[in-house]
Amino acid sequence: MGAHIIRQVLPQMVRDGLDEPPYCPWRSYWEPLVVEALTLRARRDHVDLDAQPAIVVEALAVLEGTQHRLEAADRKQAAEARETVRKLEDQRRNGR
Amino acid sequence: MTHDREPYREVAVYCSGDYAIDREAMGGKFAEHFGDTTLDGSPVQFGTRDPSLVIARAGMTPSTFTLRALTVQQLRACKGPAAFADRCLRALMYSLVSAELRQPLAHEATTWVAARSKGQEFLDLEQIDSLCERVGEEACVEIGSVALQRTTLRPFSVPHFMLPADSALALMRLSHTHAATLARAKSDTPSTDEP
C-alpha cells in the first residue's frame, strides 16, 4: 500500500496539478483542520458561512476545488479509456 | 507540520520584540517560533508559535496575547484598509480576547481583557488606544499580523503579512541579523595574531 502511494498516487497528484503532501495523503484526514472542513461541509446548509472561521471556510473551498479537479480528471481518463476501446473495436471490425 | 494545527481555535501569542524573550538563548528556535521575517531575501516562512520553544530571560515573563480566529466576515472587513498596519490593527481589534501584560514590554504588569459592547465584534477605539499606549503600536501591529496569518492555509500557500521594511521592529531584526552574520564571519576568520 505504501509503495503504491509513493509510486502511483503521489506522482498522479503532481500530474493533476495538486500539491504533493509531505506525508501519506491518507493522513490528511486526521488533520484537525481537514476534519473541521469536512464537518462544515456536512452542515453547510444549516450555518452562516460568513460567521465561520475564515481558515476553515478556505480549507473547505480548497477541499471542494480539489475534489472537482479529481472528478474531472477521472471523467477525462474514463472518456479516453472508452475512446481507446472504441478505436480497438473499429480496428477489429475493419480487420475482418 | 506546525504547532498551530488548529488555527480556528484561540492561541497565545508572544511579541518578538519583547525583551523578556531571550533571543540569543533561543537561537534558531526564534525564527522557528516567530517565522522568518528577517527581510534578507530568503523565502519567508511561517512561525510555529509553539510556546515550548520560547525561552525567557531569568526572572522575566514575556507578555502573551490571546487571539481568536477571524471569521469570514471579519477577514473581509480587515482587507478594507490600504495600509498594512491598519489591516493588522483591525485584525487585532477583531481577534484579541485578552492579554497578560508583563514588564518590560508593558510599563506595568496587568491582565488586559477585551471588553466588547453587546453585539459588537471589534474593540472600541479607546481600548485599542489604551493597549497601544501600554505596549506600543509596533507590538500591536505584529500581534495583529499573526491574526491575519492564521487565516491563510499552509504550507500550501505562502502569503505572509510582513512588517513594513521601515518599521522599527523590522529594522531591529535586520540589525540583529547583520550582527549575527558579522559575529559568525569574525569567528570563522582564522586568527593572524599567532606566529
Task: Choose among A32, A51, A53: nearest Cβ to B5.
Answer: A32
Q: Residue A2: its pLDDT value, please?
A: 58
Residue B51 has pLDDT above 80, yes or no: yes
Q: Residue B44: its pLDDT value, please?
A: 56
Q: How many CA atoms lie within 13 A of B54 on its CB side?
A: 24
Q: Which of A9-23, B71-85, B105-119 has the highest mean pLDDT?
A: B71-85
Pick the more confident residue, A32 or B194. Answer: A32
* Domain-located, residue A5: no
* CB contacts, 8 Å: A65 with chain B: none
Q: Residue B176: its pLDDT value, please?
A: 67
Q: What are phi and psi of B124, to 5 degrees?
A: -70, 155
Task: Choose among B7, B73, B156: nearest Cβ to A55.
Answer: B7
* Domain-located, residue B72: yes
Say how far apart CA A63 and CA A44 lie, in whole Å. Answer: 14
* Domain-located, residue A13: no
Residue B95 has pLDDT above 60, yes or no: yes
Q: Residue A81: its pLDDT value, please?
A: 93
Paired strand residues for B67: B11, B96
* Domain-located, residue A37: yes
β-pairing, B64-67 with B96-101? antiparallel
Query: Which band of pLDDT confidence, cut at 50, 70 and 90, is reported for residue B24?
Result: confident
- Cell numbers 502569503: residue: B159
What is the secondary structure of B78-108 as a DSSP string?
HT--SSHHHHHHHHHHHHEEEEEE-TTTSSS
* Domain-located, residue A8: no
> A53 vs B71: CB contact, 8 Å cut-off?
yes
* Domain-located, residue B56: yes
Task: Choose among B5, B75, B151: nearest Cβ to A33.
Answer: B5
- What's the gap in Å between the CA of A74 and the closest CA on chain B? 23
Q: Report chain B's mean pLDDT, rounded to a whole number.
A: 78
Q: Which three cell numbers, joined as nine digits, stand for A76?
A: 477525462
* Counted domains in chain A: 1
Radius of gyration of chain A, Cα coordinates, nearest whole angstrom: 19
| Domain hosting residue A54, numbered range | 22-95
* Domain-located, residue A7: no
> A50 vs B72: CB contact, 8 Å cut-off?
yes
Pick the more confident residue, A68 or B173. Answer: A68
> B6 vs A33: CB contact, 8 Å cut-off?
yes
Q: Is residue A30 a contact partner of residue A4, using CB atoms and an 8 Å limit?
A: no
* Counted domains in chain B: 1
Q: Residue A34: its pLDDT value, please?
A: 86
What is the secondary structure of A66-95 as a DSSP string?
HHHHHHHHHHHHHHHHHHHHHHHHHHHHHH
* Domain-located, residue A71: yes
Q: Residue B113: its pLDDT value, please?
A: 84
* Domain-located, residue A10: no
* Domain-located, residue B6: no
Q: Is residue B134 a contact partner of residue B101, using CB atoms and an 8 Å limit?
A: yes
**Contacts of B140 by beta carbon, 8 Å cutoff, 6+ apart:** B88, B89, B92, B128, B131, B132
* Domain-located, residue A12: no
**CA separation (Å) from A89 to A75, A76, A80, A85?**
21, 20, 14, 6
* CB contacts, 8 Å: A30 with chain B: none
| Domain hosting residue B182, numbered range | 11-188
Query: Which band of pLDDT confidence, cut at 50, 70 and 90, is reported for residue B165?
Result: low
Chain B residue with Cα closest to A30: B5
* CB contacts, 8 Å: A56 with chain B: 8
Query: Which band of pLDDT confidence, cut at 50, 70 and 90, is reported for residue B158?
Result: very low
* CB contacts, 8 Å: B74 with chain A: 54
**Contacts of B94 by beta carbon, 8 Å cutoff, 6+ apart:** B70, B74, B77, B78, B121, B122, B147
Q: Which three cell numbers, joined as nine digits, stand for B129?
A: 488606544
Say how far apart CA A8 and CA A11 lie, in whole Å. Answer: 6
ipTM of the complex: 0.70
- Cell numbers 520584540: residue: B17
Nearest CA to B156 out of A8, A78, A31 is that of A31
* Domain-located, residue B194: no
Q: Residue B168: its pLDDT value, please?
A: 63
Residue A20 has pLDDT above 70, yes or no: no
Residue B147 has pLDDT above 70, yes or no: yes
> What is residue B3's DSSP assignment?
S
